[in-house]
A and B are shown apart, each in its own frame.
Chain A
Amino acid sequence: MIDALFEPFTYAYMARAVWICALVGGVCAFLSCFLMLKGWSLIGDALGHSIVPGVAMAYLLGLPYAVGAFFSGLLAAASMLLVKQKTKLREDAVIGLIFTSFFAVGLLLVSINPTAVNIQGIILGNILTISAGDALQVVIISLASLLVLVLKWKDFLAVFFDESHARSIGLPVRGLQVVFFTLLSATTVAALQAVGACLVIALVVTPGATAYLLTDRFGRLICLAVLFGAVTSALGVYASFFFDTNPGGLIVSLQAALFVVALLFAPKHGIYAKRRALRLAAAGGAHG
C-alpha cells in the first residue's frame, strides 16, 4: 500500500517533475498575488502565448529554448506598447491582437517543419519528458526569481500599490517595474514547460485569488498563495502518474477546485459566509 503510494518516486523522471513543478508553481503563485490585485491577470495569458514562436524558433535552430522564449516575449511586449501608443484601440484588443498573432506565427513555424518541434509539448507542457538541460534552465530561472521576490516583495508592493509613497522613500520605481516584468516573463517561460501555453495563466492567477479569499494581509496572502501553488503543482504531477493524464491539466484542475472551495466556504469572504452575514444583519435589523 505504502509502496504503491511511493511508486512514482522510484522513477527519476517523476521525482524530478514533482519537485520542479512545485518550485515553478510556488514562484508563479508568488507573482499571482501582484497580478491578481493589479488586474493584470490576462498579461500572464498573453505572455504564455507570445513566447511560443520563440520556443519554436529555438528548437528549430537548436538554441536554448529560454533564450528564444525570452526574446519573443520581449518583442511581444514592445509590439503591444507600440500599437498602444499609435492607436486608440482598447488595451484588451491590443493584447489579444498581439498575442494571437504571435501564437499564429509560432504555429506557422511549426507547420513548416513539424518534426523538429514538439508542438504538443509547447501547448500542453512536457514536464515528464523534459531534457536535463531544459530542466536545469527551469530550475535556475525559478530559483533566481524566487530569490529576488523574497528579498524585494515589500518594495514591489510599494511600487505597485502606492507609487507616490515608493518614490518618496527613494525606491527606484521604474527599475523595480522592469525587474518585476522581467521576472514575470522568465517565470512564464518556466511555467510553459510545466503546464503549457494555454494554462500558464492559471498558475499566475488562481493561487493568488484563492489566497485573497482567505486573508486580508499581504504577507499572509503571499504565504498562502505560494503554499497552494507549490502543493497543487506537486500533487498534480504526482496524481498524473496514477490517472495517466496530462499533468498540466491535473495541476490546474486542482487549483481551480481549491478556488471553488475557497469561493464557497471561505470564513469571511466566501459566498456562504456573506449570505450568513446578510441573514444575521437582516434578522438583527428586524429584531432591533
Chain B
Amino acid sequence: MPNAAHCALPQRGAHMDSFIAFFTEPLAQAFMQRALLMSLLIAMVCSIFSCFLILKGWSLMGDAVSHAILPGLALAFVAGIPLMVGAFVAGISCAFLTGYVKENSRIKEDAAMGIIFSGMFAVGLVLLSRIETDVHLMHVLFGNVLGVSMEDLLTSGSIAFLCAFIMFIKRRDLMLFCFDPAHARVIGLPVKLLHFGLLILLALTIVSALQSVGIILVIAMLIAPGAIGFLLSRTFDGMLLVAFCASLFSCISGTLLSYHFDVATAPLIVVIQAAIFLLALFAGREKHDQKA
C-alpha cells in the first residue's frame, strides 16, 4: 500500500491533507465503497441483534447456527437453488434439531447443540471437498468483504435491512420475550411465534453476513456490540444505541485501517470491537468503584 507511507510523512501542513486522504483514498475505489457499505449494513443488523441475544442467553446459538450452514451451501449448489436459501434452511434446521434432541432424549441442550452443529459442519466440509462448487471454503469461513459484488450487496443488504427493520419495529415485544418469557406469555404475547421468529431472524442475519465477515467471525459481531451496550447503558434503548455506535465505529475504522495496513478486514473489525469492550470494561469498573 503506497499511501501507508504517505500518511506517515510528517510534513508541515500536510497533516490535514493526509487525514482527509485516509478516508478519501480508499473510498475512491469502487470495491472499497461496496465493502464499507456492506460492513455498515452488517454492523447495523448484527448490533441490534446482539442486544437481544445477550438478554436471551442465546450467544452460543449464533455460534451453532453459523457453523451449521456449511452443508446447506454445498447442497444448494448441487440442487441449483440460491446458496443463501440452502444456508438459511441448514441454519434453521440446526436450531430445530437441537430443540428436538433436547426434548426427546436425555442429552443436555449444550451437548445437543455442540453435536449437531459440529456434525453438520463436518458433513459440509466433506461435501465441499467432494463436490465441485464455486463455494470457496476460506471465503465462507472468513468472509471476503473486499470482494463483494454489487449483486451481493443488494441481496445481503436487503436481507440485513429487512431483519434490522423487523427487529427495530418489534423491539418492545422481543425485549420482553428475551428478558422475561413468563411475563410475556401472561400479557398475551405470542411467545412461540416470537421464539421461532427470533430464530429465523438469527439465521437470516447470519446468512446476510456470510459474504462479508464469514461464518466464524459473525459470531463475534453477534455478541460483542450487545456486550458493550450492556456494560455502558442501563436502559434497553440505550443499550441498542451504544451497541449500534460501537459496531458502526469498529466497522468503519476496521475497513479503512485494513486497507491502509493491508491486513484482513473482518478479523480487524472484531479485534477493534474487543478493544472497545475492554475499554468499556475498565471504564465501567471505575464508575462502580467510585460508588462503592
Mask, A80-119, CB within 8 Å of B = 1, is 0001001111101101110011011111101110000001
B264 interface contact, C-beta 8 A: yes
Least CB separation from B61: chain A residue: A92
- Find out whether the CB atom of A256 lies under 8 angstroms from the CB atom of B110: no
On whether A39 and B108 interact (CB within 8 A), knowing A90-B54, A202-B119, A206-B118, the answer reads yes
A251 interface contact, C-beta 8 A: yes
Measured in the bound complex, the distance between the Cα atoms of B107 and A199 in whole Å is 19
On whether A213 and B106 interact (CB within 8 A), knowing A86-B281, A111-B263, A249-B125, the answer reads yes
B72 interface contact, C-beta 8 A: no
Within 8 Å by CB of A205, from B114, B124, B219, lies: B114
- Find out whether the CB atom of B114 lies under 8 angstroms from the CB atom of A104: no
Least CB separation from B50: chain A residue: A93
- Find out whether the CB atom of A120 lies under 8 angstroms from the CB atom of B138: yes
A212 interface contact, C-beta 8 A: yes
B contact residues around A123 at 8 Å (CB): 141
Within 8 Å by CB of A252, from B60, B121, B264, lies: B121
- Find out whether the CB atom of A108 lies under 8 angstroms from the CB atom of B129: no
Q: Which of B106, B130, B273 has the most chain A CB atoms inside 10 A of its CB?
A: B106
A248 interface contact, C-beta 8 A: yes
A255 interface contact, C-beta 8 A: yes
B contact residues around A119 at 8 Å (CB): 138
- Find out whether the CB atom of B62 lies under 8 angstroms from the CB atom of A96: yes
- Find out whether the CB atom of B130 lies under 8 angstroms from the CB atom of A256: no
Measured in the bound complex, the distance between the Cα atoms of B264 and A106 in whole Å is 11
B239 → chain A, closest Cβ, in Å? 12
Measured in the bound complex, the distance between the Cα atoms of B220 and A103 in whole Å is 9
Least CB separation from B258: chain A residue: A111
A contact residues around B62 at 8 Å (CB): 96
B88 interface contact, C-beta 8 A: no
Measured in the bound complex, the distance between the Cα atoms of B114 and A206 in whole Å is 8
- Find out whether the CB atom of B126 lies under 8 angstroms from the CB atom of A100: no
A54 → chain B, closest Cβ, in Å? 15
On whether A209 and B107 interact (CB within 8 A), knowing A93-B227, A101-B274, A107-B267, the answer reads yes
**A residues 234-288 touching B (CB-CB < 8 Å):** 243-246, 248-253, 255-257, 259, 263, 269-271, 274
B21 interface contact, C-beta 8 A: no
- Find out whether the CB atom of B114 lies under 8 angstroms from the CB atom of A96: no
- Find out whether the CB atom of A100 lies under 8 angstroms from the CB atom of B217: yes
- Give the number of A-B contacts (CB < 8 Å): 200
B122 interface contact, C-beta 8 A: yes
Within 8 Å by CB of B220, from A88, A104, A111, A209, lies: A104
B contact residues around A106 at 8 Å (CB): 267
**B residues 59-78 touching A (CB-CB < 8 Å):** 59-60, 62-63, 67
B160 interface contact, C-beta 8 A: no
Measured in the bound complex, the distance between the Cα atoms of B54 and A41 in whole Å is 19
A contact residues around B67 at 8 Å (CB): 198
- Find out whether the CB atom of B126 lies under 8 angstroms from the CB atom of A245: yes
A18 interface contact, C-beta 8 A: no
Least CB separation from B222: chain A residue: A96
**B residues 103-127 touching A (CB-CB < 8 Å):** 104-108, 110-116, 118-126
Least CB separation from B124: chain A residue: A249
B contact residues around A120 at 8 Å (CB): 138
On whether A253 and B267 interact (CB within 8 A), knowing A44-B114, A86-B285, A212-B107, the answer reads no
Least CB separation from A94: chain B residue: B227
B271 interface contact, C-beta 8 A: yes
Measured in the bound complex, the distance between the Cα atoms of B123 and A248 in whole Å is 10
A contact residues around B281 at 8 Å (CB): 83, 86-87
Least CB separation from B213: chain A residue: A104
A contact residues around B53 at 8 Å (CB): 93
- Identify 15 residue pairs between A and B in the complex whose beta-carbon atoms are under 8 Å apart, listed by A's number: A41-B110, A42-B113, A86-B285, A90-B54, A92-B57, A96-B62, A107-B266, A111-B264, A120-B138, A198-B141, A199-B122, A202-B119, A255-B119, A263-B101, A271-B104
